[in-house]
C-alpha cells in the first residue's frame, strides 16, 4: 500500500559514533520501504562532539536530510520539540539516534497511524522481542520507573519511553506547543496530554536492538526525570487537565 509523506525526527546529543550509520542506513532503505516522500530531521541538542558537523556533511549530499541545532544542551524533549517544528510532513516519526529497530519495522507503526493520532512502540507487549536484549539493570530500572509513574496517577502506555513513536502532526501540534518537559519526562507528558485531549493513542510491539553507548545516566537522569514528572503533574492539575 502507499504511504503518506513522513518526517523522521532524530534527537541527538554527542552521537558522533552512532548517528552516521543510522542516517546512512535510513537513506539507503527508506525509498524501498515507503517511497521517496520522506524527510529526516536531525535535532542536535548542543552536542560537544562532532555530531552536528557529521550530520551536516550527510545533509549536503542528501537534500531530504535537515539538521537543526541548539547552542545549549536542553534535553531530549527540547530536541524533539525543535525537530518537530522543522518537520514538514503529515506524519512525524520520533526515532532514537542508535536506530533501535529495523527500518522495516517502522512500516507497521506508520500504517497504524491511519487510525490513531499517536502510535507508541512498546518493548513490553506480548509480541515484542529483542535481537539484543537490554542489560538486566536497565530492564529492572525501567520497571521500577513505570511503577513510580503509575503511582503519580499518570496514564501513559506500557512503554512510554520507547524510542519509536509515530504522530499525526496537525492534531498533535497544539499539544506539543504546551508541553514543557524538556528532558526524558517529555514522552510521558506528551502521551498524557494526547490521551487527555481525547485523541487516540495505540501501542504496537517492536523488535528491539539494544546498542551500547547511550548517554543516559540511569541514577542521575532517573532522579531528574521523577522531579520533572512531579512538576508536570502539578502543571496538569493547575490547568485542570
Flag whether 1 is in a domain: no
Q: Is pTM, for the whole model, over 0.85? A: yes
Q: For the chain, what is the mean pLDDT?
A: 89
- Within the chain, where are the H helices? 19-34, 51-61, 76-86, 106-112, 136-151, 169-178, 186-196, 218-239
What digits encode the pLDDT tens for the residues 114-140?
A: 999 999 999 889 999 888 766 666 666
Q: pLDDT of 25-44, one tens digit each?
A: 999 999 999 999 999 999 99
Most confident listed range (51-55, 153-157, 210-214, 215-219): 51-55
In a domain, 120, yes or no: yes
User: By the 8 A CB rule, do 156 and 149 touch?
Assistant: yes
Contacts of 77 (CB under 8 A, 6+ apart): 179, 181, 182, 183, 184, 185, 186, 187, 189
Which of 191, 154, 3 is closest to 80 using CA atoms? Answer: 191
CATH number at residue 211: 3.90.550.10
Q: Give dist(CA 116, CA 134) in Å, integer.
A: 29
pLDDT at 237: 78
Is the CA virtual torsion 143, 216, 200, 35 positive or negative?
negative
In a domain, 105, yes or no: yes
According to the model, what pLDDT value does residue 146 have?
A: 76
- Beta partners for residue 93, in sequence order: 8, 166
Range of the domain at 78: 6-239
User: For the chain, what is the domain count?
Assistant: 1
Amino acid at each position: 500500500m502507499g504511504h503518506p509523506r513522513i518526517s523522521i525526527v532524530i534527537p541527538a546529543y554527542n552521537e558522533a559514533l552512532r548517528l552516521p550509520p543510522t542516517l546512512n542506513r535510513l537513506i539507503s532503505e527508506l525509498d524501498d520501504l515507503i517511497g521517496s516522500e520522506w524527510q529526516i530531521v536531525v535535532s542536535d541538542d548542543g552536542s560537544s562532539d562532532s555530531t552536528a558537523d557529521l550530520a551536516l556533511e550527510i545533509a549536503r549530499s542528501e537534500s531530504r536530510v535537515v539538521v537543526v541545532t541548539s547552542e545549549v544542551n536542553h534535553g531530549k524533549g527540547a530536541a524533539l520539540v525543535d525537530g518537530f517544528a522543522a518537520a514538514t510532513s503529515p506524519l512525524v516519526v520520533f526515532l532514537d539516534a542508535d536506530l533501535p529497530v529495523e527500518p522495516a519495522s517502522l512500516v507497521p507503526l506508520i500504517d497504524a497511524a491511519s487510525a490513531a493520532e499517536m502510535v507508541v512502540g512498546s518493548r513490553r507487549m506480548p509480541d515484542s522481542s529483542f535481537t539484543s536484549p537490554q542489560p538486566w539493570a536497565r530492564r529492572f530500572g525501567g520497571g521500577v520507573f513505570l511503577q513510580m509513574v503509575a503511582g503519580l496517577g499518570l496514564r501513559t502506555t506500557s512503554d512510554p519511553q520507547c524510542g519509536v513513536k509515530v504522530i499525526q502532526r496537525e492534531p498533535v501540534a497544539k499539544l506539543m506547543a504546551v508541553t514543557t518537559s524538556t528532558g526524558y519526562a517529555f514522552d510521558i507528558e506528551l502521551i498524557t496530554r494526547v490521551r487527555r485531549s481525547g485523541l487516540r493513542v495505540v501501542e504496537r510491539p517492536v523488535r528491539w536492538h539494544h546498542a551500547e553507548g547511550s548517554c543516559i545516566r540511569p541514577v542521575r537522569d532517573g532522579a531528574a526525570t521523577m522531579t520533572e514528572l512531579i512538576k508536570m503533574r502539578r502543571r496538569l492539575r493547575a490547568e485542570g487537565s
